[in-house]
Amino acid sequence: MLSKTCATVAFRFSSQRTAFVAASSSFGKFGSGGGLCRFASAAAAPMDNNNNATTTVSPESLLEHFQTTTKSSNNSMIGNNVGDAMYALYKADAVCFDVDSTVIAEEGIDVLADYLGKGEQVAALTKQAMEGGMKFQDALQQRLELLQPSQQSILQLLQEQPLQLTPNIDTLMNALQSKQVDIWLVSGGFRIMIEPVASLLNISKHNIVANTILFDEVGNYNGFDKTEPTSADMGKPKALQQIQTQHNYRCMVMVGDGATDAQAKPPAQAFIGFGGVIERQAVKEKADWFVTDFMDMVHIIEQR
């Protein structure tokens, strides 16, 4: 069995800078519903340019380093387990992102609804689903039946009004990719609308788990694929479990703005709530770390 003391890992931090506390740290669980840190052994301590051993990392040292070097405000330190979430992000081999109001600065289905002249009705259903007031599958089906989107109308929308990326999401994605962290887009939105976003961010379409709208032979709406894990409530933990099983990830982090994203822990080791587009109180209350600017996450990734 793993002990409750998580093995510490090397922190690439120059010996000329302030050394932080603790060669190791015991911090137990990643909050309610999370798992113990599952890293089997500590990484060998790397050497800096002067051939000196670098400092080890712990949730406490990451938190202290973040507070010291970023001059963080109280808004950057919201969450139930901020240090643990930072450590999970520091060690993650996969980070999974919601798309709507997280990777993009809008709700894709609301954009589509506005384009089709049915914005107000669909926005009300979206709000209920995101705040946990309606089962996701019910909201999805009601919205699509209301919209009846054709393949042509969706493609025309994307050409005329490309979805807008959230500020600094490209910087975060580049930082993760530079550290060989796998990125997944796990969304209750629609694959047909998400694939162009993934392409912009250099994410493979094979790393998308999303809903598939079905069309008939002439491109008219013909339902949606109900076998997709994200087509139903509790779909995101199911999707992450499938991803973890297929790729043998040791530490996954979920990032998103909604109640369905918070459900992904476990199997995610940490849930990072995002409020840079819209702040949801229910998400703040459930997040291990709640951020409004992706540069806060970039700062942690850069310490790897």
Q: What are the catalytic residues?
A: 98, 100
Q: Which helix (H) or strand (E) holds 154?
A: helix 151-160
| Tokens 């991803």 belong to residue | 243
Question: Considering only CA atoms, which of 142, 71, 130, 94 is closest in space to residue 275?
Answer: 130
d(CA 270, CA 228) in angstroms, rounded, equals: 23
Q: Token digits for 6?
A: 């998580």
Helix 119-130, helix 136-147: angle, nearest 10? 170
- Listed as own residue / partner, the contacts of 72-77 with beta carbons closer than 8 Å and 24 or more positions apart are 72/296, 75/292, 76/291, 76/292, 76/293, 76/296
